[in-house]
Amino acid sequence: GLGVKPPTATWGTMLNDARQEFESAPWLWFYPGMLILFTVLSINFVGDGL
């Protein structure tokens, strides 16, 4: 199928793994979540600029 092979870490798998430690370790979900947010916003701004 499409996508990254399982042993490779992705932002989505990092967020999924951090769900269990949501309150005790917020840095586990904060950085991957911010990277996803900035990536989506930057693609959106580039699309608006075109």
Which is higher by pLDDT, 45 or 23?
Answer: 45
Between the CA of residue 28 and those of 4, 37, 38, 43, 49, what are the distances in Å?
A: 20, 15, 17, 24, 33
pTM over 0.85: no
What are the boundaries of each domain within the chain? 11-49
Q: 13-34 pLDDT, tens per residue?
A: 888 778 888 778 778 778 888 9
| pLDDT for residue 1 | 65
| pLDDT for residue 27 | 80
Average pLDDT over residues 32-37: 88
| pLDDT for residue 29 | 79
H or E stretch covering 23 = none
